[in-house]
Amino acid sequence: MDKILGTFNGLEFTVGDTLLEFSYLVAALLFVYGLKLLSHPESARRGNLWAAGGMGLAMLTTLLLHKNAEGAHIPISNVFIILAAIGVGSVIGWIAAYKVKMTAMPQMVSFYNATGGLASALVSLLEYPNAVAGDVGSILVTILGLIIGAIAFSGSMLAYGKLDGKVGDVMKPFMTYLNLALLIATLALGAIIIFSPNEPAEMTGLLYLLLALAIIYGVMFVLPIGGADMPVVISLLNSLTGIAASMAGFVYNNQAMILGGILVGAAGMILTILMCKAMNRSLLNVIIGAFGGGGASVGHEQGTIKEITLSDASVLLSYSQKVVVIPGYGLAVAQAQHIAHELESLLEGKGVDVRYAIHPVAGRMPGHMNVLLAEADVSYEKLVEMDDINPDMTNVDVVIVIGANDVVNPAAYDDPGSPIYGMPIIDAHLSKNIIIMKRGMGKGYAGIENFLFFNPKTRMLFGDAKSTLQKLVSEIKSL
């Protein structure tokens, strides 16, 4: 039996209670330290391990020391069931993460995010009947956890389908108003349940109706979103999952869950706002699902497409002083990150300064290109953010665009009729020479024409990125 250390406001505190609270404090410090390390690619792996260690500590001490309102510990039989579930889930997660291709990484992130939202929603669904009628605070966090968790679940699952090509974009003018109506209806029903004087057991029907509305809203919220806007949506959904987890923490009065959820929610929201800025979108438009989906660009005259041979490209690159590589989703599709790193090393051996220009929303999720290039052992110092590389773009001898499209499209600057007008881009058009590697003249993810193709300084190098880069490397070696 735990030794009683003292009392406070009539509550007894034991050795077990003290150890549990202390473990939560240590876990919180590990979360914050891990988050700090995650701010730089070079230390991100260690940061992930430190944060995971903090979560592991919180889980272990909760299983061993947590007591319910009656002062009883978790039954040992339940502990074994929980540990077995954790073990099975860990094995499945490890295998999935080990086997996933880089092109499918955004889908995996969305799927895992959906499971977090579902778990939080189920906690609220199961714990609501245990709430006390009239206890507005307790019911409030339970209902918020249900709504936010359900939206994060259904929205993330639909995002998974869209990223995997299983679901297309559906954007109709009335959907903005429909989404607003659904959101208002969901919040209104939630308020009715929260402030109802009835016993929770009497509100079961309305609770399941609220769950259905939240799931439908999550689907409708993501359904019209397309184009290059998916990274913003994934970041926002991740933030919602964190907030839902913190609500579950309030339900169970678990400080580790509360803090962990708040950190995830805050970090995700900050990232969402930064990405909205990078996309020139408002957060309100993200919430009501009123942006994306492509459109028709106007106001440009298409020029002449000019190609470049492998031999000419190899000579141009070999005798340049500054070369900038702009990677995009096409680089991930071709799995050409390793050969791109080989090209970089080969050119550096010839005295060429090679860097990579990273747009905040290049790829299909936040940091997609950073992860992709890190896998190929590209030095972190060579990954330069858009705002840092743009001022020097006029001094760059050659820009190589590999699989990127919308993030280098000049229509963002000079075509008010373009859906991406006003979006900050990498100023590839200001460099002295531009080489664009593409399989064909297809449009980017936003579904609009890229007029960088017709720039007088642009030369197209058609073909699969990996195969083309391999041939280019061979040409350079033979010089």
pLDDT in tens, the chain (479 residues): 455 555 544 455 566 678 888 899 999 999 999 988 987 777 888 999 999 999 999 999 988 887 776 677 788 888 899 999 999 999 998 998 888 876 777 888 899 999 999 999 999 999 998 887 778 888 999 999 999 999 999 999 998 888 887 877 676 677 878 888 999 999 999 999 999 888 888 888 999 999 999 999 999 988 887 655 777 888 889 999 999 999 999 988 888 889 889 999 998 898 888 878 777 767 776 665 544 444 444 445 556 788 899 999 999 999 999 999 999 888 888 888 999 999 999 999 999 999 999 988 887 777 888 888 888 888 888 999 998 999 999 999 999 999 888 889 888 888 777 777 778 889 999 999 999 998 765 555 555 678 888 889 999 998 888 899 999 999 998 87
Portions of the chain given CATH number 3.40.50.1220: 310-477
Residue 460 near residue 442 (C-beta atoms within 8 A): no
Which residue type does 117 have? G
Q: What per-residue confidence (pLDDT) applies to 140?
A: 93
Residue 300 vs residues 190, 428, 454, 459: alpha-carbon distances, Å: 50, 18, 10, 19
C-alpha to C-alpha distance for 30 and 202, rounded to whole angstroms: 42
Q: Reduce the DSSP state of residue 384 to 3 states and report it.
A: strand
| Nearest C-alpha neighbor of 291 from the set 235, 236, 233 | 233
Q: Is the pTM of this model over 0.85?
A: no
How far is it, in rounded angstroms, from Cα 202 to Cα 402? 59
Q: For domain 310-477, give the CATH superfamily.
A: TPP-binding domain (3.40.50.1220)
In the block, tokens 């492998």 appear at 310
**Which pLDDT belongs to residue 441?**
59
Q: Give the count of alpha carbons within 13 A of 361, CB side only.
A: 30
The amino acid at 432:
K
Alpha helices in 253-324 (DSSP H): 255-279, 283-287, 310-318
Partners of 401 in the β-ladder:
326, 436
Calculate the CA 372 to chain-centre distance: 14
Rounded distance, CA 196 to CA 241, Å? 27
C-alpha to C-alpha distance for 116 and 239, rounded to whole angstroms: 11
Which active-site residues does the annotation give? 406
Q: What is the DSSP letter of 3?
A: P
